[in-house]
Structure formats: C-alpha cells, structure tokens
Structure 1
Amino acid sequence: MLVLGLTGSIGMGKSATAAMAEAAGIPVHSADAAVHRLYAGPLAAPIEALFPGTTRDGVVDREALARRVLGDPRAMMALEALVHPMVRAEEAAFLDACRAVGEKLVLLDVPLLFESGRTGAVDRILVVSAPAAVQRERVLARPGMTVEKFEAILARQMPDAEKRAKADYVIDTSKGLAAAERDLHAIIADLLGHDRRT
C-alpha cells in the first residue's frame, strides 16, 4: 500500500484537494478533521484544564484557543503534546484498516508534514501551492482571520518554495478546481502505475 502525504501552507487548497481524492475513490485521513472530532469530544476537558476559558458547552472554541496559543511557543508545545498523539493514533488505525482491506493507495492530509518531521510516515509527498498573493487573499477572507493571526501561522510553516522543492508532486491550485483535479488524477494514475510494477 502506497501512502501519499498531502501538505501545503495555510490557504493553499489542501481540503479541496483531499475532497477530490476522496471523490476519486482514494481513502483519505485528514489531520484537521481528526482534530475537529477530538476537540468536540475526548480533548475538550484536557484542553480546558490546560487553557481555562477555551471551551464552550464541552467543545473547544478554536478561536479562543488560537488567541491563547498563537505567538506563545510554550503554550503551542503543550497543546501539541496533547493533540498529536491522539491524531496519530487515529491515523494508525486508519492505515491498519486500509491495509486490512487491500487498499493500493491512501492519502494522509497532514498540514505540517515537513515541520513536524513526519515525512518518514509517507511514501510520496504532494504539495499544494499557489502564489503568495492568492494565498493571502484566500486566508484573509476567512471569518475571524486577521493579518496578525495569518502572519503568526505563516511564521510556524516552512516557506512554500522549500515545500515545493522537497515534494514528489506539486499542484498549483490557483489555476482553478478543474485543472487541480486533472493534475490530481494524473498523480493517482502515476502512483497506481508504479504500484502495479513493484
């Protein structure tokens, strides 16, 4: 089974690309989706204990939590120490289930694949990218996003050019959804072709 790692900086189109892969029949595990589930369940109480006032009705308030941890490296490390092991346990269970049913190719959507040293967990890396001006416009259009928050998030991420240089595949998502989907289907065909030859 080949594991394709999908990554890219904020606003580059990871979620849309992961949805396209799923629509093409590729099993997808999204770290962000796992975090959403965990924030609404098992992680809410430990996060509230660590950062009082960051949950509401038993669910983590992502805005409140972001205000508390962004720009504070020690707080961020404490949060990651809680979140990452649980996300990785979900990911491992996903991979085991896919292997058990004989999947040939799966996709792991990992926002900080390079930054967290997780490249060894995947066989190939797909980076989604777009020009900086497009990225900025997309991110600042999000509800609750500020320039300061955007810059704090960017500061934690490897520069886009470095990610592209380290990737096996790159999709430029600024060319539109149809072009991105064509590129993704070509990558899937390439990977499944490799898989059949080995």
Structure 2
Amino acid sequence: MKKNYFTIGLTGQTGAGKTTVSEIFASHGFEIINCDKIARTVTADGSRCNKELAEIFPECFDSALSLNRRKLGEIVFNDSGKLARLNGTIFPYITEEISNQIERLAACGKRYILLDAPTLFEAGADKLCDTIVSCIADERIRAERIVARDSISYELAKSRISSQKPDSFFIENSDYIIRNNGSVSDAFAQTERIIKQIKERYNG
C-alpha cells in the first residue's frame, strides 16, 4: 500500500543556507518540522530527557530540572566523549518526537513533510525520510556567513566548521545537493528544480 505522504530530510553544513532553502520549501506547501525546536521541546523543564541528562551532567541542572544550555555547551564542546553521551541520550527523544509529528501531519492529510534537521544523520532521523536534500558551500563563504549571522570571530566560525562533516559525506549520503555558494536567487533556482523533481517522483 502506497503511503499518502512523502518525507524529505533537509540537512547540511552550518552557514550553507539551509534556513533559506527550508523557507523556499515552505512556500511550496511543504509542512516543516523544525528539529532545533524539537530539541528544545524534549529538553523542557522537568522532561524525561532532562531526568536522564541530569544523571550525566548534574552541574547543568537546577532542582526543577531546568537545563543550563550554555554550561552544557561549554562542557561538551571540546570533549568528544561527553558530546557522544549527550547525543546518545537526547537523539532518541528527538527521533521519537519527529515520528509523532510526522504521524500527526500525515493523519491531517499533509502530503509533503520536510524535516529541517542539522543533525539528521547523527540522530538517525534520515531513516524516517524518503529522500535527503543537503546544502553545502565553500568553507570561506560559510565562515563569512557565520561571522555575520552569529557575531563571532572568524576563528570560532572556522572551529565550528571543522567539527562538522565534509562535503564528501553529504554528497555520498544525499539524493539531492544544493551548492549554495552564490546569491539567494541561485539557491532559489536550485531548490525550485529539486522541488519539481520531488513532486514528480511522488506523483509518478
């Protein structure tokens, strides 16, 4: 039996323009599930996820199980082992909520559902998708965008970039690639072509 909906995973490198691409998909009637918002939902005060995290990072929580995100970030930023423990705890909750939202949208008759997910592969949410779209861009361009967007130093921007997966990973693991090195209009044109292909594939 054919599903009555089609799920797209949108991911990519920081500074590669994923937010702009997500907005273009939304303008074409795609329902957007923002996985950054889901991450905040599952780590709301007193949540099940927070109870688990508090056992690992007790210094990051108060008595109401409210998460101090800045302190947690400082702990895991330069410690790959602790980052792995954080991800291993939080990602199952995120994936569970993504699944729930997909089911709710499908039940409402929504045909095209897009997961806007920076950590799509890391969370295992790619397994929930029918197709994957990734945004990539040259390192220099991404660093300049991050500096302008987040008001941080060029060195810190480069550090963020170096901690992420390379172009080759996204190229090998995605069905569609948006190379966002140019103008917004160029990104728009690439995205429009992909949207047309996805709808043709679904309706084919």
Are 2:28 and 1:20 equivalent residues in the alignment?
no
Q: Could you list the per-position Cα deviations for residues 37-80 of structure 1 after superposition, in whole angstroms to 9, with x for gaps in the alignment?
A: 33343245554453244358965343322110122122112211
Q: Give matches, 1:32-43, under 5 Å.
A: 32-41=36-45, 42=47, 43=49
Extract unaligned runs of 5+ from structure 1. Answer: none
What residue identity is the alignment partner of 1:147?
E
Identity fraction in percent: 23
Q: Which moved more, 1:48-57 or 1:83-92?
A: 48-57
Q: Match for residue 112 of structure 1?
A: 119
Extract unaligned runs of 5+ from structure 2. Answer: none
What residue identity is the alignment partner of 2:97?
E
Q: Give matches, 1:1-80, under 5 Å.
A: 1-41=5-45, 42=47, 43-44=49-50, 46-54=52-60, 59-80=66-87
What residue identity is the alignment partner of 1:84?
F
1:12 aligned counterpart, secondary structure: coil
Q: Match for residue 154 of structure 1?
A: 162
What residue identity is the alignment partner of 1:62?
R
Cα drift, residue 177 of structure 1: 2.3
Distance 1:59 1:139, change over 3 A: farther
Write the distance in 2 (CA, Å) between the matches of 1:173 and 1:10. Answer: 12
Superposed CA RMSD in Å reads: 2.7
1:175 aligned counterpart, secondary structure: coil
Cα drift, residue 112 of structure 1: 2.6
TM-score by length of 2: 0.80
Give the length in aligned residue pairs: 196
